[in-house]
Structures are given as C-alpha cells and as structure tokens.
Structure 1
Amino acid sequence: MAVTIRDVAQAAGVHISTVSRAFSGSHLVKAETRERVLAAAAELGYRPNQTARALTTGRTQNIGLIVADIANPFFPPLIKSAQSRARLCSYQVFVADTDEDPRAEEELLRTLARQVDGLVLVSPRLANEEIAALGGEVPLVLVNRRVPGLCAVLMDVAHGAALAVEHLAGLGHRRLLLAGGPRNSWTSAEMRRAAEAAAAGRGLEMTLFAPNSPTEQGGIAAARAVVEARATAVIAYNDLVAVGLIEGLDALGVAVPEEVSVVGIDDTVVGRLNRPRLTTVAMPTAAAGRAAVDLLIQAVEAKDADQATAETTLGTSLVVRDSTAPAPRPEPAADAPPAA
C-alpha cells in the first residue's frame, strides 16, 4: 500500500501537521524535528503530492542553484547534497553555471527568478549592491558571501586560513605567499584578512598575489611570483590553484615540499589524487548545500524579517598530507666558517 503522511508522522513520533510543516520548510518546526521527519520519510519512501501542494500554495516547487564554475570539483558535492535535500522537501533544482562571469550571473539570476520560488547563489562574483537589488525580487540565499539583508551560509575559511598559517609557522616557515582568488570573492577577502593577521601575530612575512584566476592556470601563473618573493610556503585560494602551483613550480625546477610547501583550500578529490597529496583546508560543501536549501525554503515560508535574513556559519579544519614539510635550511654564506 502507498505510504501516507500518517505513516510518516507515526514513524517520526509527531503530529500530521508537523510533517506537513517540515516538508514546507516552515520556521515553526525545530531543525532536529525536521531532520527526524525527513529521515522517516526517506526510510518509508514517502513523497508528498506535489501537484496538490502547488495548487494550494501557488508555488512552482522549483528552486534555482547558481554556481561560479561547475567544472571546479568544489561545487559538485554541494550541488548533489542540495538536490537531495530539495527532493526530500518535494522541490526540484535547476542548476546553472556562470563561468566566473558577473554579467552571466546577473542574467541567470533575472531569468531564473521568473521560474522558481527562490534561488541559491554560490560564490557569487557580482558586487554586493547588485546582489542586494536582485534579492529584492526573489527569495535568495547566498553561499560564501555576506550581504546585509540576505540569508547566507558561510564556510569559516578565515579559521581555516589561520590554521594553515599556524601549521606552516610550526614547520619553521617565515616567508609566505598567499595566492588569492578573483575580484569580488568573499572567500579570497576572508582568507587574506585572516592569513595576514595570523602571519603578523607570528612575525612572518607575507606576500599577496591577487587577484588571480581560481583555476589550475591561475596556480601556474602564481609559481613565478613564489620564486621571486623567495617564499618557502604558499596558501592557495583553492585546490585547483594549489595543484597548478605545484605544476608551475616543478616546471621552474622547484620541488614541493622539499623547497616550497603548498596548502590548498577545499579538500576536493583533485587534491587527494595529486602527488604530492595536498595539505588543504576542508570545506563543508555538502553540509552547505543542505543548509542553503533549508534556509531558502524557510525564507520562502517566512512570516518575519528575522527568518528571511538568517545566517549559518559552518566550521572548517586543516587536513595535513604530503605537500607541506619543514622549511628548508638557508644555505650558508660562502665565507661562513664550517659547522663544528
């Protein structure tokens, strides 16, 4: 027999109305209760009647998800988790890619806004003022961007960048380079702020190479800057930049990690498969996708401004692998006396 809403309510130990509110994303349902209801529904194979619900609510049951570069391995886990979460709540997801182009981003936002109940915008490149204006046209949740008046899911990249500096300082590195990301990148700005503060606190020298393409080619381009700055360690904007940087340094005859240590950001499959395996800051991308969908559905249902401008911050951690090592010892001067 078909699974009903009553079956889900009984399995989750809640009232039928609570199940209905959980699927609509209502802010009246506590997060832990919603998790229990969705888990029970998934186990029983329950799906709400989407057609009847759309007629009742006047909504499309569609949401848009716009990412900066779908080819970047940072984004697929986020997209997958967002789709899975939306499906449990009886929503479908339209995914679009801006190819790191702010104008394409604006065009997609305006186009999708007419076809969906709300939008998730991941790592946007538009200026804050432009995003805020578009946020007045449709419920909007940002991932890795903070704009006053809009919902946001933030990954604590500042904490991760500080951990990276502390790790490198502990290995004896004193001259660092930060290979930043593109203009209008919240992540790049947060990295710079936190890394420079941590380096200053340790008395380290830090060189900035930015703005820069968030790609493997961007990393290759940064390699010469590392050599010219005589840096012994680099913190890269993301894993793609870090992998490109290792490739670029190798082409210049610089060994990683023996001569230069490299730290990435993201903890993607690219870094895990690279040789040397990449030391990196793990970003909670899958959790961010789920949280963004939850916030968006809540924003669509919100009756008060506080719910419509909620913000969630997710933690980050450092994963130490093979691309970092103790700083190389400086070569003795030609006229230096031999060691005793």
Structure 2
Amino acid sequence: MAVSIKDVGRLAGVSVSTVSRAFNGYSDINPVTKQRILEAAEALGYSPNISARNLSSKKKQNIGLVISGFLQENTAQARNDEFEFWLMHGAYRCARDLDLDVAMYSIDSEFQKKKTYEQFCAERNLSGTLMFGLKITDDYFHQLHDAEIPCVTVDTLVRGRNVGCVTIDNVLAFQELTQYLFDLGHRELLLITGRKTAAVTMERMAGAYEAYLANNFEFRKENVVYCDFREDEAYRKTKIYLQKKQKNGATAFLCMSDMMAVGVLRAVKECGYRVPEDFSVVGFDGILLTTYTEPKLTTVDQQIEQKGYEGMRLLSRILERPEEARCLYLPHVLKERQSTGQKNEGGG
C-alpha cells in the first residue's frame, strides 16, 4: 500500500495540515517540527522528490496548472480545440503579471485513484493548484472538499474552505441561447450535448429545460444527443440523424460547444443542406474558429482566456487569505452571426 501524507503526519505526531505546510515551505512551521516531518518522510520512503532544500526556505509560491483528461481526449479533437489553449494562455499571463512559478501537469481519473490530491501536491512541492477538466465522478472532486492545499477549479464547482471556482452562469447562458432559437420561430431543437459526467453539461441542460418550461414547449429526451464535446461525434451523429429524418425533424441544432457545432455544420453541408436556410446552428464557447466557419457561427462567448486569468488570480488571493475562497462568475455574451435565421416554414 502506498504511503500517504497522513502516514507521515501520524509518525511525526502532527496534523496533515502541518505536514502540507512544511512540505510547501511555509515560514510559520517550527524548524524542529520541520526536521521531524522530514525524518518521518524519509523513514517511510515517502515522496523521494522532497528534500531538505525544499523544506528549508520558500521564496515563491509554486503553482500547479493541472489539466485532467487532456491526454485521454481524441487526438484529432485536441489539435482543433482551442479551449484548453486559451485557458492556459490566460493562466500563464496572470502568473507572469503576479510573478508566480507555474508548472503544468496532466492527470486523469485513473491517476486520481492512485494518489490523493494532497499527496500529489506534496510530492511536487505545490502551494496550490488551478485545475481544468475535473469531472464530478473524479476522486479529486470529492477530496477537494477537505483539502488543506488550496485549489481553484474552472467550470466545476466544489464546496470547500480552501477551494475556489471560476465559471459563468451556465444555466442562464444556455437558457438565453435556447430562447434565442425559440424567438426565431424554431420549435424542434436537437440538443448536441457534452459528457454526462461534466458539470457544465448538466447546468446547460437545466438552462435549456427552463427555456422549454417558460414557453410551455415539450422537452423530449429523444432530442438530446450526447457527443462528449467531440467534433467527430457531433458530425457522425448529426449525419445519421439527417439521413433518417431529413427535413422532417429538428430545424435547429443547439450545441454545447463550438467544436461540436463545427461538426454539425460539416454534416449538414455533406447531406446537401444549407445553414441557415435549411437549419440553424448555434455553438457555445466563443473560440476564434467560429469567426472562420462558413457561415460564421452564432455562439455564446464565455471569455475563455479571462477564465484562466481570473482563476490564477483567485488562487493567488486564496494562498494569501484563505477567506477569499469563493465562486467567481464571469459575464457571457451571445454573439449573433450568420449560422442562424428565422425558421423556414417549408422545413420540418
């Protein structure tokens, strides 16, 4: 069984919090206690990367930019999706402005089963983390509630005294996007959704459902298509749908990401139809690619780069003052472009 940070604390006779603070070089730890913790770690064979040099001083906060699931994604998708790039760009820009040391780490759900969040941070001498891609089924999602080492998540709200979150109001944003299509006269919408285990998928689904309720329209589960936030899946499933329904089904495609909307656009064109004359298509994210699609894509701009920036800045505040831990909601903007139009009464 792997040795944990709790084992070190038990042998040294101190709390997990004290071990964590010692590993991260905080100056309020008694030198004698630090030495006892170091000796306990060495005796247990815990964290070979931790040395006396790491424990002796701390000139800067060491920040981990942690991306969960990055290497699990479809490789073709990863080459085309700007989302993580702009998050990272914003985070590193803030780190530069605040003079923070940042290292990037890629993990996945299986990794989280082997090492606890506290152990992961301690072995890398991390003062705190900014985490992208965390799923509600992940081990770290549950461990962060009681974590001593601060974390800020992006788009996944976790309750905890040392945890912050940066996101947008996904429920409201998707309700507005759904209502926008209703106002154009569309009644049959096909929802192209993300991962079932993603918090934003559930939030955006709730927003769509609220719009349906507000308009007294029927929300049918058969009009929900899970595509895992992947362009290729959205393309494949949209093509199957159109080959089966042609123009006798949905008149608009309501997509939970821009990349999935790109897949929908491709499928519609290959099936011999036009956007927006035959079908309207909307995306969600506001990535740069949407200004180059044909036609240009109507989307919700959720300020991706600013999310990364504000996430890093919030983490810096929490490291200095734990009471700063909170959920920060950024504004969103609906950008109407050429991929949407009034429902064609001759359509489905």
Letter in 1 for 2:295: P
Q: Which residue among 276, 279, 286 is the counterpart of 1:257? A: 276
The 10-residue stretch of structure 1 (155-164 or 264-273) with the greater mean CA deviation from structure 2 = 155-164
Q: Deviations over 1:127-181 (max 9, x none)?
A: 2664231461521111101111121111222222112112111111011121110
The answer to whether the aligner puts 1:86 opposite 2:95 as a matched pair is yes
The answer to whether the aligner puts 1:173 opposite 2:186 as a matched pair is yes
Matched residue of 1:244: which SS? Answer: helix
Partner of 1:122: 132
Following the alignment from structure 1 to structure 2, what is the Cα–Cα distance between the partners of residues 107 and 278?
42
Deviation at 1:113, TM superposition (A): 5.2
Letter in 2 for 1:125: K
Following the alignment from structure 2 to structure 1, what is the Cα–Cα distance between the partners of residues 316 and 287?
28
Partner of 1:96: 105
The answer to whether the aligner puts 1:239 opposite 2:249 as a matched pair is no
Q: Which residue among 260, 267, 280 is the counterpart of 2:299? A: 280
Is the CA contact 2:60–2:101 (under 8 Å) kept in the aligned structure 1?
no
Q: How does 1:1-340 map to 2 (within 5 A)?
A: 58=58, 61-67=61-67, 68-69=69-70, 71=79, 72-98=81-107, 101-104=108-111, 111=120, 114-115=123-124, 116-127=126-137, 130-134=140-144, 136=147, 138-149=149-160, 150-207=163-220, 208-223=223-238, 224-225=240-241, 228=245, 230-303=249-322, 306-307=323-324, 309-330=325-346
The 10-residue stretch of structure 1 (310-319 or 59-68) with the greater mean CA deviation from structure 2 = 59-68
Deviation at 1:59, TM superposition (A): 6.1
Matched residue of 1:255: which SS? Answer: coil
Is the CA contact 2:300–2:333 (under 8 Å) kept in the aligned structure 1?
yes
Deviation at 1:331, TM superposition (A): 6.1
Matched residue of 1:64: which SS? Answer: strand
CA 1:129 to 1:105, structure 2 compared with 1: closer, same or farther past 3 Å? closer
Unaligned runs of 5+ in 2: 1-53, 71-77
Following the alignment from structure 1 to structure 2, what is the Cα–Cα distance between the partners of residues 210 and 92?
42
Following the alignment from structure 2 to structure 1, what is the Cα–Cα distance between the partners of residues 120 and 282?
38
Letter in 2 for 1:310: R
Query: Percent identity among equivalent residues?
Result: 25
The 10-residue stretch of structure 1 (62-71 or 213-222) with the greater mean CA deviation from structure 2 = 62-71
TM-score normalised per structure 2: 0.71
Matched residue of 1:278: which SS? Answer: coil
TM-score normalised per structure 1: 0.72
Matched residue of 1:265: which SS? Answer: coil
Is the CA contact 1:141–1:296 (under 8 Å) kept in the aligned structure 2?
yes
CA 1:319 to 1:104, structure 2 compared with 1: closer, same or farther past 3 Å? farther
The 10-residue stretch of structure 1 (180-189 or 105-114) with the greater mean CA deviation from structure 2 = 105-114
Matched residue of 1:266: which SS? Answer: coil
Q: Deviations over 1:6-34 (max 9, x none)?
A: xxxxxxxxxxxxxxxxxxxxxxxxxxxxx
Unaligned runs of 5+ in 1: 1-53, 333-340
Matched residue of 1:234: which SS? Answer: strand
CA 1:128 to 1:111, structure 2 compared with 1: closer, same or farther past 3 Å? closer
The count of corresponding residues between Structure 1 and Structure 2 is: 274
Deviation at 1:281, TM superposition (A): 0.4
Deviation at 1:57, TM superposition (A): 6.6
